[in-house]
Amino acid sequence: MVSGKSGLVRAFALIVLLVAFTGYNLPGRDLVGSDGTRFPPPPAAPSGDITLEARAAIDTFVAGVRGMAFDRQAIESIGAGGDPRLLWFVSDARRFAGRADRQTILDAFAALTGVSLPVDNFNAITNHLIAWEIPAYPGYSDDKRALFLRIDPRWAPFFDDRDTQVDWRFVEWGGVLIDDRIDARPGLPCYRCIPALDDPAVTDAAGGNWYPEDKLVFGVVINGEARAYPKHIMEIHEMVNDTLGGRRFAMPYCTLCGSAQAFFTDDVGAYGPVLRTSGLLVRSNKLSYDLTTMSAIDTFSGRALSGPLRAAGVKLNQVSVVTSTWGDWKREYPDTTILSVNGGAPGAPYPYDPLRGRDDKGPIFPVGDVDLRLPVQERVLGVIANDGTPLAFPVSEVLLALEAGERVIARGVAVAAAGSGLRATNTVGGSTSPAALASHEAFWFAWSQFHPDTVLWRR
């Protein structure tokens, strides 16, 4: 027990340290969005079933969407019902709204929350709901299913698993459709989807002189074999299934999160799973899935969230991905291979800047509130320590420390240079052991929202 003035001071100091080093959220804390918006206190949400009037309005709206119509009266009725849980449905309905319908949605949001939002910031609806942790109403996933299958009916298996671990509140449509091609060789058509790349053509380091040395690659080393995946090619495909060092693995790249990760897939079978991009997002992170079993997979953790892989308790094991310039990577790994100039696809090479700065100004999809310990797009090296503690190392600070000859160690994890990037290893008795931990870079907002209790290393 703490008593007296000095005791109160020590207690306050302990709380400050707890927040600073673990990121735990305390009741009454400020909720701030990625754009600096401060969220007001949340509206009170009821429990139990929704009213018959609300159910009728939702059913009417869904029926209208099936007929390619937007029923404004149904949304107005939901707004007048007094249940803010229904705003999750309203948030999904905005995907079907034309410009003339937007004000109806914003009016419903204002009626249920007392908060008025600008017409030009539609993502703010979902950002508020995530930050407020508004619960879903009973039957919400079925209503979302009805809406989203109007966009792409091939998403049905993700919804149909009644024991799914997908939190449908946080699932957004990313504006593209599912990539369900069995054959994902370079150059094969992919209708409105982000085309995965299976077994791309590679060349040795000398043959990789087509790629400028100052451009970035995502480097992977498995069983002593190294390979570099040029960033601009990954920005086009966002998913590669490949073999390296005798191991089969998949590498999803979430451009929105700035995160390339590599997962062994041959632990679950001789050749599978085969990962593809679903076209869905979870708090701005791509939702991957296994083509063979149609199981949804959390791209940040590798954990299966639905389908047969979820039922089997599958969590894919990771291997480190190093973000480095091509010149520094091939100097450190002279025997490395690199994807060929066109990844094996016919036709012209890929453009070096296909996104043209799309993600430079912060998250473009809802993420809710953010952890203020770092700027949202500060790059961090993320790693899970052996004791299960998530750790984040700001890349710029670590590079400065290493250049100054300092050691970077936290919770038994050491960070060292790899190419011009970073990788993490275990430490034993103050020295670095050969055993590497799976690490990768990501934007701070992404790492911290999926690991809210992360320990942040500071120089």
- List pLDDT tens digits, range 127-185: 999 999 999 999 999 999 999 999 999 999 999 999 999 999 999 999 999 999 998 87
Alpha-carbon distance of 238 to 222, in angstroms, equals 20
Cα distance between residue 310 and residue 314, in whole Å: 6
How far is residue 263's CA from residue 254's CA, in Å, rounded to a whole number? 14
pLDDT the model gives residue 359: 82
- The count of other CB atoms within 10 Å of the CB of residue 9 is 11
β-pairing, 239-244 with 197-198?
parallel
Q: At what angle do helices 140-148 and 52-66 cross, to 10 degrees?
A: 10
Q: What residues does each domain of the chain span?
A: 52-150, 167-368, 379-456
Measured at the alpha carbon of residue 243, what is the angle toward residues 238 and 244, in degrees to the nearest 5?
105
pLDDT (0 to 100) of residue 13: 38
What per-residue confidence (pLDDT) applies to 2? 33
Determine the distance from the C-alpha atom of residue 255 to the mean position of all C-alpha atoms in its chain, rounded to a whole number.
Answer: 9
Q: Minimal CA–CA distance to 221: which of 186, 248, 245, 257?
A: 245
What is the C-alpha separation between 200 and 191, in angstroms, rounded?
A: 20
Quote the CA–CA distance of 372 and 82 in Å, as a whole number: 32
What is residue 270's predicted lDDT score, i.e. its pLDDT?
60
CA 231/CA 354 separation, integer angstroms: 10
Residues of the chain where predicted confidence (pLDDT) is lower than 70 = 1-29, 270-271, 344, 346, 348, 428-435
Alpha carbon distances (Å) from 14 to 9, 254, 410, 446:
9, 37, 20, 27
Distance CA 242, CA 222 (A): 12
